[in-house]
Amino acid sequence: MFSKKTDFVSMRKESRLGMYIPVPICLLNSRFSSTTLLIYGSLLNRALLSQKNAWQNDYGEVYVRFSIDELAKYVGKGISTVKASLKELEFHGLIYRKRMDLYTTHIYVRVPKSCLMGQNINSGKAENRIGKVQNSGSQTAGNMTTNNYTDIQNLHTDKYTSGRGGHY
């Protein structure tokens, strides 16, 4: 990837970064694996592009289209690893998937409330709607949990602490 130390330069005030993958700081001390965080960040990055291009449903929720094969290639991981990470993200409410047809699935990337900056969050429409979305992973309609994202830090505490959590 990089051949020598001279391939790098120091960051400066006027430096402009190219493409990067955003990962919310509030998730860094979670128990999610680095692969799951990489996949979440990749989906979030793609969601930012979808936001700019106004890819949204009737409720104003931004979605991404990313096949499992594309996502696996993008992050340099195997298909089974990507599927496991997507399932974990969906279980914890950070994404939900809705199958649109035989070949298309919309992935809705959800952001922990604690990571949003100064916004009036109208959770009524989206939160109530999520329980009615078909879970594309198992192809069964069901009651998905509507997580309150302030709880996500309680679910995934720092694995190096001996207090809350730390079951490693």
Split at pLDDT 50, 70, 90, the class of 24 is: confident
CA–CA distance, 115 with 28 (Å, rounded to integer): 12
Phi, psi of 98 (to 5 degrees): -130, 120
Average pLDDT over residues 45-74: 94
8 A C-beta contact, residue 129 and residue 122: no
Q: Where are the beta strands (DSSP E) in 21-151?
A: 63-64, 95-99, 105-109, 134-135, 140-141
pLDDT of residue 97: 95
8 A C-beta contact, residue 64 and residue 109: yes
Residue pLDDT, tens place only, 103-157? 889 999 998 888 877 655 554 444 444 444 434 443 333 333 344 333 333 333 3
pLDDT of residue 23: 87
pLDDT of residue 121: 52
DSSP 8-state secondary structure symbol assigned to residue 56:
B
pLDDT of residue 42: 95
Average pLDDT over residues 55-83: 95
Structure tokens at 148: 């309150």
pLDDT of residue 122: 56
Q: Which residues pair with 108 in a beta bridge?
A: 63, 96
Which has the higher per-residue pLDDT, 51 or 20? Answer: 51
Maximum Cα interatomic distance, the chain, rounded to a whole number of Å: 54
Query: Which domains does the chain show, CATH number per domain?
Result: 30-146 (1.10.10.10)
CA–CA distance, 166 with 154 (Å, rounded to integer): 11
Which has the higher per-residue pLDDT, 127 or 167? Answer: 127
Judge if pTM exceeds 0.75: no
